[in-house]
Each structure stands twice: as C-alpha cells, then as structure tokens.
Amino acid sequence: MMHLGNGGFGLMGLLIFIADIWAILNIAQSSSENLKKAIWIVIIVVLPVLGLVLWFLFGPRSGRI
C-alpha cells in the first residue's frame, strides 16, 4: 500500500473538494434545465469523485471553462 505521509489524503481530499465546487458552479451557470442541474449537483455531492468523473464525461458542455 502506498504511504502518502501525514497530509497526503488531506491534500487529495482538498483537491477533490475544489474540483467538486468548480463543477457545481459550472453546472449552476449552465443553460440546462433546472431539474438536470439539480440531479448533477446531487450526484456530485453524494459521490464526489465518481460524480465528478461522470459529469466531466456525460454532463452538459455549456458554461465550462
């Protein structure tokens, strides 16, 4: 098993959190229907890593940087 030191998992968690916030802001700013926005946001909140990957692959493209 890989040892990440004292802050390895904390740093990884922080990066995932920042990416999730970025995705949620992009979803909120998109021109998609409100129901679709709400579903994507719930998926990202409930499944932070998997939800982010799914949104990146399958989510609406408008509003992304």
User: pLDDT tens string for the chain (65 positions)?
Assistant: 555 556 667 888 899 999 999 999 999 998 889 999 999 999 999 999 999 999 999 987 654 44
Long-range contacts at 38-46 (CB < 8 A, ≥ 24 apart): 44/20, 45/20
- The model's pTM: 0.78
Measured distance CA(17)–CA(51) in Å, rounded: 12
Tell me the torsion sign for CA atoms 14, 16, 17, 19: positive
Q: How far apart are the first and last CA of the chain?
A: 36
Q: Mark out the alpha helices in the chain (DSSP H runs).
A: 8-29, 34-46, 48-58
